[in-house]
Structure 1
Amino acid sequence: MSNSWKRPKIKILKTKSEWIWDIIGYTFYLGSIIFLIYNWNGLPDEVPAHYNALGEVDRWGSKMELFILPIVGAFIALLMQLFEKIPESHNYSERLSKENAKEFYLISRKLVNQLKNICLIIFALILIESVSIALGIGNGFGVWFLPMVILSALIPIVLGIIKQKKIR
């Protein structure tokens, strides 16, 4: 891309898939907070605070630590929501041009949207499981959780790269 060429700002309406991802992600996020609040008084003073790679609790902490995930989730959601609004600032290949910018922007924005909502879902699941374990009704994640988390983030990234490679 030539230094004299400035990336265009293009208004692209939010797609149906982005709305669906947002509804799912924010529903999980808000649902986990409601679940935490509903069960707050029944929680013991010590709750799961960290998990090892096998999905087993390896540190217990104060029940106040359960607010860390929703706070970090809110920060990530706000930051990634901002990045969704400025796709012209994302990193693109040299093939980006005025003619294909809209297609590049949309793919990149959808990727950011999916990753934001996957993070919200993962944080919600961790919070729900931590509360469940503390209440004696959860078993821990098991060995499947970490690979699923990695795949859930990796698959959209790989698909986004493949889609961008097809742009002419």
Structure 2
Amino acid sequence: MTANRPKIKLKLTKTDKIIEGISALGIITLLILPCYYYGQLPESIPTHFNGSGQADAFGDRSSIFLIPVFALISYISLTALSRFPHIFNYPTEITEENAAEQYAKATSLIRILNLIVIFVMGYITLQTIQTALGNSEGLGSMFLICFIIIMQIPTFYFVFSRKKNKTKQTTN
């Protein structure tokens, strides 16, 4: 079904460029952070936090680079994916008339989710470092709940804005 969809090269809006810039800065910061603190870290650092946000598994200090590497892989993957909006799943049929709007919304959603993932992984990395250095108790008990809620906000926004636009179109 995606073979019949129009392939459109979207122009980035100013907002898209800002989000991409912040994401790029975030990923660079996330990659530099463990390098900066590496020499200060003890040989054993937290590698996992339980549902209450307390460290419950430990590993070698070199494991501090795992989350930034996963974040980089995620960043590259989502950025590449956003270049091909015609292959996404959509809740509506994609036509020549609605393709540009649907693709723009979908790629904006991917950009925002990418930014959120980078910031969450940055927070986890920073808290892991601070916990290893004895400056923090861990992620905190509300981290998991906040993460789940924050990840859902953009999705709900785009779904409800689509329904609002659909309702507006049917009344005109």
TM-score normalised by structure 2 residue count: 0.89
Match among 74, 85, 99 for residue 87 of structure 1: 85
| In structure 2, C-alpha distance between the alignment counterparts of 1:126 and 1:146, rounded to whole Å | 11
1:84 CA displacement: 0.6
Query: Does the CA-based 8 Å contact 1:49-1:59 persist in structure 2?
Result: yes
Report Cα offsets for 1:4-51 as digits up to 9, x if no partner.
981111121112222222233332332233221111111100001001
Report Cα offsets for 1:76-98 as digits up to 9, x if no partner.
11111111100111111343221
Task: Trace 1:1-168 onto structure 2 (pairs within 5 A).
Answer: 6-165=4-163, 166-167=165-166
| In structure 2, C-alpha distance between the alignment counterparts of 1:121 and 1:4, rounded to whole Å | 32
- Aligned length, in residue pairs: 166
Flag as ranges the 4+ runs of structure 1 deviating above 6 A: none
| In structure 2, C-alpha distance between the alignment counterparts of 1:5 and 1:20, rounded to whole Å | 31
In structure 2, relative to structure 1, the CA distance for the partners of 1:9 and 1:42 (3 Å cut) is: same
In structure 2, relative to structure 1, the CA distance for the partners of 1:36 and 1:162 (3 Å cut) is: same
Query: Does the CA-based 8 Å contact 2:2-2:86 persist in structure 1?
Result: no
Mark the runs of 5 or more structure 2 residues left unpaired by the alignment.
Answer: none
TM-align CA RMSD = 1.8
In structure 2, relative to structure 1, the CA distance for the partners of 1:5 and 1:72 (3 Å cut) is: closer
Query: Does the CA-based 8 Å contact 1:26-1:120 persist in structure 2?
Result: no
1:162 CA displacement: 1.6
| In structure 1, C-alpha distance between the alignment counterparts of 2:137 and 2:3, rounded to whole Å | 56
Report Cα offsets for 1:102-143 as digits up to 9, x if no partner.
110000000111111111111111011101111112231211
Secondary structure of 1:85's partner? Answer: coil
In structure 2, relative to structure 1, the CA distance for the partners of 1:80 and 1:41 (3 Å cut) is: same
Q: Which moved more, 1:44-53 or 1:13-22?
A: 13-22
Task: Tell me the percent identity.
Answer: 27
TM-score normalised by structure 1 residue count: 0.91
Mark the runs of 5 or more structure 1 residues left unpaired by the alignment.
Answer: none
